[in-house]
Amino acid sequence: MKYSIVFSFFILIAISCTQPKNTMKANSSIEILDEAALSLINPDAQIEVISQGYAWTEGPLWLEKEQKLLFSDIPNNSIFQIDAKGETSLYLKPSGYTGDAARGGETGSNALILDPQGNLVLCQHGDRRMAKMNAPLDQPKADFVSIVDNYQGKRLNSPNDAIYDKAGNLYFTDPPYGLEFNVDDPAKELDFQGIYCLKTDGELLLVDSISRPNGITFSPDQSKLIVANSDPEHAVWYQYDIVTPGVVENKKLFFEATSYVGKEGYNGLPDGMKMHSSGNLFATGPGGVWLFDENGKALARIATGEATSNCAFSSDEKTLYITADNYVLKMGLK
């Protein structure tokens, strides 16, 4: 145990000492597809590297009061933080798998969000649940309270992304990516990949099931639900009309990117996303971060040069944070 602690300490020192200071991301670019994008994006904006050297970054979350960015490193079962000075350090470990048995796969936390009370809520791959950190944000510890871990008595696959509506209902996606052997894992109990809504009264509703549900968000007025499908055979975003919490209708294709999958310069699949207050959607997908208008028209693409997993805004929406493979990036917005 002593050697493990010492080794982890030196790993942290190495990470902190080797972080770049606002260097430009190589092979990155901004492609304007429609002039409507210019209301949000400066085509000459710099895409900066603010941290690197991880296994796979995900779940960026800006904490306004603490003035820091949190993000998951899923394979390393850790959450890191970048403070106001740009310094990176370990925030929480373990973050997604708290078991004692050694196992492979994507064990850590994925998306990180805040609940209506300001608590940190984690999509825990390894523990196969939605959980709340039972500690203040400024005093993190690996003490978790399970929010939901099963559907009709069967264990969830591995919750991936989540969002609360204004009434406090929790919507989340549940693909197989956190299982050690993915969709063929013998421990998989559900024979589908669901989109769920945990209502405030504790009822868990299955909203829909698609092949690989991933990123999830609402329209600004929360009348519509948008979900990414990270299936290389059907790389799309769907939009639903929300009738009541957990009940949807009028499922339709928001945007299809299947034709881009596998093309040079278009690494990645539909993944995490964030809705801008303007009604325009920043969504990670093949080649980087796509900008869509409210009707699913592509306005721009922020090419990161990497498979890109997720994004987040600062509280004033003037900064876009991006997790892309082993990098954390940022870009100024208008």
Give yes or no for residue 59 having a pLDDT over 80.
yes
Give yes or no for residue 8 having a pLDDT over 60.
no
Give yes or no for residue 45 having a pLDDT over 70.
yes
In 3D space, the residue among 63, 58, 50 whose CA is nearest the CA of residue 79 turns out to be 58
The answer as to CATH 1.10.760.10 being correct for domain 24-332 is no
The pLDDT confidence band at residue 11, using thresholds 50, 70 and 90, is very low
In the numeric block, the tokens 């493990």 are attached to 4
Q: For the chain, how are helix, strand and coil distributed in percent, rounded to 5? A: 10, 45, 45
Distance CA 99, CA 142 (A): 12
Predicted TM-score (pTM) of this structure: 0.93
The mean per-residue pLDDT over the stretch 38-45 comes to: 97
181-207 confidence digits (pLDDT tens):
999 999 999 999 999 999 999 999 999
The mean per-residue pLDDT over the stretch 101-116 comes to: 96
Give yes or no for residue 318 having a pLDDT over 70.
yes
Q: Identify the pLDDT of residue 197.
A: 99
Q: Identify the pLDDT of residue 12.
A: 43
Cβ-count burial 39-60 (b if 16+ within 10 Å, e if not): ebbeeeeebbbbbbbbebbbbb
**What amino acid is encoded at 221 in this protein?**
D
61-86 confidence digits (pLDDT tens):
999 999 999 999 999 999 999 999 99
Give yes or no for residue 9 having a pLDDT over 60.
no
Mean pLDDT of the chain: 94
What are the distances in angstroms from CA 296 to CA 226, 258, 263, 316, 317? Answer: 10, 15, 21, 24, 21
Give yes or no for residue 5 having a pLDDT over 50.
no
Going by DSSP bridges, is the β-strand pair 319-324/273-275 parallel, antiparallel, or unpaired?
A: unpaired
Residues 6+ apart with CB under 8 A from 288: 28, 268, 301, 302, 303, 304, 305, 306, 308, 322, 324
> Secondary structure of 274-298 in the HEC alphabet?
EECCCCCEEEEECCEEEEECCCCCE
Q: Are 288 and 270 in contact (CB under 8 A)?
A: no
- Higher pLDDT: 33 or 9? It is 33
Give yes or no for residue 2 having a pLDDT over 70.
no
The pLDDT confidence band at residue 21, using thresholds 50, 70 and 90, is low
136-151 confidence digits (pLDDT tens):
999 999 999 999 999 9
Residues 6+ apart with CB under 8 A from 53: 15, 18, 19, 326
| Structural domain boundaries in the chain | 24-332
In 3D space, the residue among 54, 65, 59, 50 whose CA is nearest the CA of residue 20 turns out to be 50
